[in-house]
Amino acid sequence: MKRYSGIYGELLSITDENTILKIYEQYNGTTITFPKKLYSKGFVQKYICENYGVQSIQEISRYLNLSSRRVMQIAKEEGVTKAKTNAQEEIY
């Protein structure tokens, strides 16, 4: 026989019993929806600004769960251009 009902039983498969009890105490009876986007707009902008040209666009888009096109669009809005490669730095 299962000890916990519904979502509490499902959450137990990804976390521990103490966490389940804390969630129950804090949120029991509350309807909760989770946004599709995990990261805030500010974090996404900062991450792209710091990693554009360091990581590939595909790596950034995979990490942030955005399309490559959206990553490039945000970079353009933030005024970020690709960093120089070592070969380019040696020429100048």
Report residue 17 as tokens: 């019993």
Give me the tens of pLDDT residue by residue for the chain, a chain 92 residues long.
788 998 899 999 999 999 999 999 999 999 999 899 999 999 999 999 999 999 999 999 999 999 999 999 999 999 998 754 444 444 44
Residue 7 Cα distances to 14, 23, 85, angstroms: 11, 11, 49
What is the spatial distance between Cα 6 and Cα 2, in angstroms, rounded to a whole number? 10
List the domain boundaries for the chain.
1-33, 41-91
This prediction's pTM:
0.70
- Helix residue ranges, H only, 1-92: 6-12, 17-27, 41-51, 57-64, 68-77, 86-91
Helix 68-77 to helix 41-51 angle, to the nearest 10 degrees? 90
Report residue 21 as tokens: 């009890």
